[in-house]
Structures are given as C-alpha cells and as structure tokens.
C-alpha cells in the first residue's frame, strides 16, 4: 500500500483520473472497477473531458461497479446505474453492453450475486478498481463486520450509512436498507486498487484504514493486504496520518510518479 498526498481535492481527483487514463491507454480492453458517490463526480468529469479533448478511448473498456441498491431499477434517478450513465457512460464512447452493475431488482438476488461474480471472472478479473471510503471505513457496501474474504452478496446497510445517503432521496424513508455489493475478497482480487478520499470528514477513518490494524470493523483496512494499492488523499483527508512526511517524499522522489508531478 502507498499513500499519495496532494494539496487539494482538485489535484487529488486529477491524479486519480490520470492514473485511470494511463492504464486505459496501456491496455485498451481494460477491465475497470468503478465507484459512485460525490467524491467520484469530479474524476468522471475529468475523464469525460479527456475523452472529448484528448481522444481518450473507452470503446474497448469493460466496467464493473461495486454496488447497487436492492429494489431500484436503472431508470430510478437514485440508482447507481442512473448515476453512472449521467456522470460518465453517456459522456464517453463506451459500449453500453460493456458496462455492468448488479441488478437490484433481480427476482433471485442470491443468483444475481453469483452471476455478477461469474461475469467478473469471465472478463479476466478487474485490472484497476477505483474505490471511495465510507465514514465507517466501508469499501463498496462492505459494512462493519464484513468478512475479509467475502464475495458479491446482499448486505444490510447500517443506520450510519442510511443517514449519510438519505440526502440523495426525496425522503429518508425512500432510502433502501439493502444493497448488492462486491465483497472485500472480490475487491482484493483486483490487480490494482486506487482509493480516493478527500475532505476533513474522512481524516479519522483514513488513519484507521491505512495505519491502524486490519479489522473487519473497517473493511478498507483489508487493502493493507493488497500487493498494489494506491491511496490518493488531499491534505485535509491526510490530517490524521502519522507518516505524512514519508508519503510526501514518495510522490516527490519516486520515479513512478515523475510523469504526474
């Protein structure tokens, strides 16, 4: 695991987008794992601009999203399918059939979870998985006490997650209480993980995830086990870390990051 600290949210989002673009240019048939949430909106906006202005080509790319709410169809404006279409898919040249999210309206949710795992496996696995982090340390919807070897499954949402996400719905009662999510083990199978976190509200949980013990209570801490995981932070999100001087040295001196400086 490596942590990269950028001065502000904009530079953190820009670096994240540049990493994705570099991976896509190196492998046009990239299998890309995607995340939702307000943190990712600027990343997707930058990628769309790269497509428009620089010809970044998504035509061979395949995507798999981390999660989807149970009970919401892709036409629902609060579904993650709708979010992805609005913020990214409709703005780039990706083939609609190459964009995958779990079906939250499936009659057999257990079978849908197995189908999603199988589809990821048949694609050759995820090359680069983009991640955010919840206030309680979850990745995807792997809420506290999620098994570190878990696979795609239906997960009940904690009251804290419901409170945080209810603002996107007309009334709090409209907020689903369950979601289909990739498991922690599914995420760890990705060849590379890139987590983006910004803002002072994420500082405490970032410190627990990066420098604390590996625990099922903070599913993001399992990323410490991943052989190639990059955590991109702005200054505010890094405020709780102890080794910030070391993390800054890595970005300023390691050859891997020269092209991004």
Active site includes 67?
Answer: yes
Catalytic residue among 112, 143, 234, 235: 143
Active site includes 51?
Answer: no
Catalytic residue among 45, 136, 189, 211: 136
Half-sphere exposure of residue 208, counting CA atoms within 13 Å on the CB side? Answer: 17
Catalytic residue among 138, 226, 234, 235: 138
Active site includes 136?
Answer: yes
Determine how many CB atoms are found less than 10 A away from the CB of residue 176: 18
Phi, psi of 66 (to 5 degrees): -65, -35
* Contacts of 126 by beta carbon, 8 Å cutoff, 6+ apart: 31, 32, 33, 64, 120, 189, 190, 191
Active site includes 143?
Answer: yes
Give burial (CB, 10 Å; 0-12/13-18/19+) of 28: exposed
Catalytic residue among 67, 68, 103, 235: 67
Active site residues: 67, 136, 138, 143
């Amino acid at each position: 695991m490596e942590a990269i600290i950028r001065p502000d949210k904009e530079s953190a989002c820009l670096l994240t987008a540049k990493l994705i673009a570099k991976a896509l240019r190196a492998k046009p048939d990239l299998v890309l794992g995607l995340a939702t949430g307000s943190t990712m909106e600027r990343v997707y906006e930058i990628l769309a601009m790269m497509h428009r202005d620089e010809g970044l080509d998504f035509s061979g790319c395949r995507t798999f999203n981390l999660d989807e709410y149970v009970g919401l169809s892709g036409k629902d404006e609060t579904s993650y399918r709708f979010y992805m279409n609005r913020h990214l898919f409709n703005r780039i040249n990706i083939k609609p059939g190459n964009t995958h999210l779990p079906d939250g309206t499936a009659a057999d949710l257990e079978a849908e979870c197995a189908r999603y795992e199988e589809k990821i496996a048949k694609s050759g696995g995820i090359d680069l998985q983009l991640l955010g982090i919840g206030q309680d340390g979850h990745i995807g919807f792997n809420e506290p006490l999620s098994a570190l070897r878990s696979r795609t499954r239906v997960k009940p949402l904690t009251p804290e997650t419901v409170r945080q996400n209810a603002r996107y719905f007309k009334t709090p009662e409209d907020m689903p209480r369950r979601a289909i999510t990739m498991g922690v083990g599914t995420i760890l199978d990705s060849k590379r993980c890139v987590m983006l976190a910004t803002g002072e509200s994420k500082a405490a949980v970032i410190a627990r995830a990066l420098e604390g013990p590996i625990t099922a209570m903070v599913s993001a801490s399992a990323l410490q086990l991943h052989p190639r995981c990059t955590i991109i932070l702005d200054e505010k999100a890094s405020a709780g870390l102890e080794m910030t001087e070391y993390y800054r040295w890595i970005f300023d001196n390691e050859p891997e990051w020269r092209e991004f400086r």
